[in-house]
Structure 1
Amino acid sequence: MTRHFFANTHSLTGRLAWFFGLFSVVIGVVCFILIAGSLYWSEDRVGERRIIIDRDDAISYFNVFPQALSVKLDSLTSAYSSVDAVPEEYRHLLQGKDSFLGEVGSDPDSHMIYMDSFYSQGEKRQIIVISLVDQVEISQREFVFVVGIALTLVSIMLVVFGLLLNRLSTRLIEPVNQLSTQLQAREGDTSQQFEVSESAASEFQILSQQLNHYRRQVNTLIKREQAFARYASHELRTPLTVMKGSSSLLARGDHNEFEQRQIERIKEATNTMSSMVDALLSLVRYERNQEDTPLRIISEQEIDYVLQQHQAQADQKQIAFSTDYQGSPETKASSAVIHILLSNLIRNAIAASSEGEIQVVINSHKLQVIDQGRGLNESNVTKESATEGHGLGLLIIHDLCERYQWQFELTNAANKGCIATIHFQRDN
């Protein structure tokens, strides 16, 4: 509960003020109780000490006049040598007791009563002293005045501390709010600079400078990566065109079976490399215009085309392909990207299988490649060993899925082999 209450820094200053205000009220109540209790305790102790002094005077008097039953020591205090001589309104408090000390009655007529015994001429006698203590204790008005002064001073101190706390919390929290607001407002915009107020602590100034430094580095890396992909793709198109034209010219002549197989391998490698170039270009366009990139449907023809390209490789191991097209997923990825991903999964499935069947299942949410190979084990589950596959490798599949915010899973099948799954639900 407390963690959730202080979770949002935008209202943390106000919450701290509210918390400190409540804390101040508690301190005020505690101070009032302590001050009032201290005053009452002090009054009682003073009254007890005064009545002890009056007791000594009364004992001296009764030693001189042993037949006396009472004496008025002053205008406030009277002493008695027997309980029977005490006024009737206090007598019931003392009967059957050997000693007594306390204040009885209510303001403004409360009395302090003391009872004990003393020896006079070898005889044990009682001594009772009754004093009207209200006349010497502070009045109700004086009590309110003293407590009021004390609480006023405490309140002034709390207000000063509260203002200091508010200024300190504002100085410490406001820069965090400014940086948080700028991060939310400038999401995806790497050209804007982070700024904090000049009155902010030096640590926040350093933090904003480092954020700007890292943003510039990220911006530079992104531009460098986009430029590299753009230029590399452009430079590769010319030799690819030459290779395609040359392989087509070579295919027109008469060749033996070995030569014809080599020409087909050149064509396949050229087409694969052309697909990779198209995938790189589509990634660059997607990263620059993610919001403007339209959704498209992955067609069944795309899946069949990839399987046809790998049919010869599968035939060498007597592996059959099967497809289960249950739905049409929507994605922002181009057909070249889907071609790269599915081709890599198919090649890895073929490499992991010696025979059997490779099944491709696709619906509106995911794409699965299920093989009947050796499956996963402790040695080939790691991300580093994922690069041991063909083509781009599973490591590049992870990277492409992160770019398009997909989820990639590689798990063992129930009976034999493994299942590679790409979830598209986060794509849009």
Structure 2
Amino acid sequence: MFGIFSNARTLTGKLALFFTVMSCVIGVLTFLLFYYALQWSEDRVGERRILIDRDSAVERFTNGEHGVIKLDTLTTAYNDEAQVPEPFKSFLKNKNTYLGEVDTLDSPSGHMVFKGVYTQNGQQKDIVVLSFVDKVEFSREEMAFVAIVVIIFIALLMFVFGAFLFKVSKKLIEPVNELAHQLNDSSGDATRAFKIGKGAVGEFQLLTTRLNQYRKELRLVLKREQAFARYASHELRTPLTIVKGANNLLSRSELTEGQERQVARINDAVSEMIKMVDALLSIVRYERNSGDIEVRDVDKSEIIRIVEANNLHAVDKQIRINVDFRSSPKIKASQAILSMVVGNILRNACAASQKGEVDILVNDNAIEVIDDGAGLSNESSKSGHGLGLLIVDDLCRRYGWQFSLQPHESRGCRAIITFT
């Protein structure tokens, strides 16, 4: 029943319609109750009146009058049933006693009829009293007039209370609709402030103030985060460049086999750090100018480079990495971001596997990494090497991708990035 009130946008109109229907039902029931109560009261008054007339007729019959007595212009009494007018005589023929209103075929107007007995000189005699009660009851025109008055009064009440309900519901519901509309329109824009009409109740005014306060705090947090990523990236780039240059100079010298391995490790670490710095800058640029970033195609060579940059664990464990490039996905992210995300997933897959293979499947809407590890445990979480899968999940949310980690049917687990 209450499902019709599930949408706040049309709730005011639905409340008005609901109130109108309920008011009509209540109005009809009130009118019927009034009408039948009036009929019932008229009948009870008629019955009491004819009983009083009966007592007067009995007194006159016991005093010697006989046959037909005209008590007044409306009431006639009979102590001889043979003298009762035919329509009523036929109606009372098989009744010993009766009290009620009767409409006969020959007398369309209502008569209150009483039939009973009284005692005279130790003998019981029948008595019939007829009263033309329609003369004192409401006529059809009067009943119609009363009905019209009642209907008009109920309609006025419906209009007054309906208008009051509409105003109250509008004050309570319109602010919700305004806030919902502004939230929908300003999604992703933390600079727009929420506004609400001055006539809204105090709780909505407070809610709007708090929403604006939270949006302001969110905007400041975003600015601090972007500033930190931007400045940290610039500050890190200079020492990394120095380290890389010095490492290149060392690589030109005559080195032992152990020193060459250390120089190679330093060079790989610096390259990873530079990619991370580029990724941080890409995130800042994306958050500031997401609408201006062009969609680009991911080619197979980019995936191969990511594999080559993250195959150290695979080589140590003799794990084979296979790339199945079926089609090129389209994304709005830099190579550094994709390298960070896919590289972290790939390193986790190699770390989880002791042997076997790691397959990378690439199609036009997803990248899937399948390993031969132990699979997902009950306590598995989105955490791993480097930034961790929690950060991967956060990056995917920033770029509107879907990231999931699922158990494989016959192997270890599968990590899926779905581009939307």
Unaligned runs of 5+ in 2: none
Query: 1:275-294 to 2 correspondence within 5 Å?
Result: 275-294=275-294
Map Cα deviations across residues 238-289 of structure 1 (whole Å, 9 max, x no partner).
Answer: 1111111111111111111111110010011011111111111111111112
SS at match of 2:173: helix
The alignment status of 1:77 with 2:75, answered yes or no, reads yes
Name the counterpart of 1:255: 255
| Root-mean-square deviation over aligned CA pairs | 1.8
Distance 1:178 1:239 in 2: 52
Name the counterpart of 2:31: 32
Q: Give the deviation of 1:306 after TM superposition.
A: 1.6
Cα gap change, 1:359 to 1:185, in 2 (>3 Å)? closer
The alignment status of 1:23 with 2:18, answered yes or no, reads no
Map Cα deviations across residues 364-388 of structure 1 (whole Å, 9 max, x no partner).
Answer: 1211111111111112x23xxx33x
Name the counterpart of 2:393: 398
Query: 1:6-405 to 2 correspondence within 5 Å?
Result: 6-65=5-64, 68-105=66-103, 109-379=109-379, 381-382=380-381, 386-387=382-383, 389-405=384-400
Q: Is the 8 A contact 2:313 2:351 kept in 1?
A: no
Q: Give the deviation of 1:341 after TM superposition.
A: 1.1
- TM-score after normalising by structure 1: 0.93
Q: Give the deviation of 1:330 after TM superposition.
A: 0.9
Choose 265-274 or 168-177, whichever is displaced more. Answer: 168-177
Distance 2:198 2:162 in 1: 23
Distance 1:358 1:186 in 2: 43
Q: Give the deviation of 1:2 after TM superposition.
A: 4.1
Q: Is the 8 A contact 2:229 2:280 kept in 1?
A: yes
Paired positions, count: 418
Distance 2:137 2:245 in 1: 117
Cα gap change, 1:176 to 1:237, in 2 (>3 Å)? same
Name the counterpart of 2:410: 415
* Paired amino acid for 1:102: G
SS at match of 1:359: strand
Distance 1:354 1:188 in 2: 44
Q: Is the 8 A contact 2:282 2:334 kept in 1?
A: yes
Q: Give the deviation of 1:190 after TM superposition.
A: 2.2
Distance 1:408 1:43 in 2: 81
* Paired amino acid for 2:132: L
* Paired amino acid for 1:18: L
Q: Give the deviation of 1:164 after TM superposition.
A: 1.8
* Paired amino acid for 1:221: V
Distance 2:158 2:331 in 1: 61
Distance 2:18 2:378 in 1: 54
Q: Is the 8 A contact 1:108 1:134 kept in 2?
A: no
SS at match of 1:323: strand
Map Cα deviations across residues 341-380 of structure 1 (whole Å, 9 max, x no partner).
Answer: 111111111111111111111111211111111111112x
Q: Give the deviation of 1:111 after TM superposition.
A: 0.9
Q: Give the deviation of 1:108 after TM superposition.
A: 6.3
SS at match of 1:204: helix
Map Cα deviations across residues 21-61 of structure 1 (whole Å, 9 max, x no partner).
Answer: 23322222222212211211111111111111111112222
* Paired amino acid for 2:75: T
* Paired amino acid for 1:98: N
Map Cα deviations across residues 163-211 of structure 1 (whole Å, 9 max, x no partner).
Answer: 2222212222222232223223333332222222222211111111101
Unaligned runs of 5+ in 1: none
Q: Give the deviation of 1:131 after TM superposition.
A: 0.9
Q: Is the 8 A contact 1:113 1:129 kept in 2?
A: yes
Distance 1:178 1:370 in 2: 47
Q: Determine what percentage of the aligned residue pairs are the same residue.
A: 45
Distance 2:17 2:352 in 1: 65
Q: Give the deviation of 1:151 after TM superposition.
A: 3.1
Choose 104-113 or 315-324, whichever is displaced more. Answer: 104-113
Q: Give the deviation of 1:17 after TM superposition.
A: 2.4
Q: Is the 8 A contact 2:311 2:347 kept in 1?
A: no
SS at match of 2:360: strand
* Paired amino acid for 1:399: D
* Paired amino acid for 1:45: R
Map Cα deviations across residues 65-124 of structure 1 (whole Å, 9 max, x no partner).
Answer: 27x232221111111123322111111111111111221227862211111122222222
Map Cα deviations across residues 116-174 of structure 1 (whole Å, 9 max, x no partner).
Answer: 12222222221111111111112223223333333333333332222222221222222
* Paired amino acid for 2:53: D
Q: Give the deviation of 1:63 after TM superposition.
A: 1.8
* Paired amino acid for 2:14: R
Q: Is the 8 A contact 2:67 2:80 kept in 1?
A: yes
Q: Is the 8 A contact 1:83 1:94 kept in 2?
A: no
Cα gap change, 1:52 to 1:306, in 2 (>3 Å)? same
Cα gap change, 1:9 to 1:413, in 2 (>3 Å)? closer
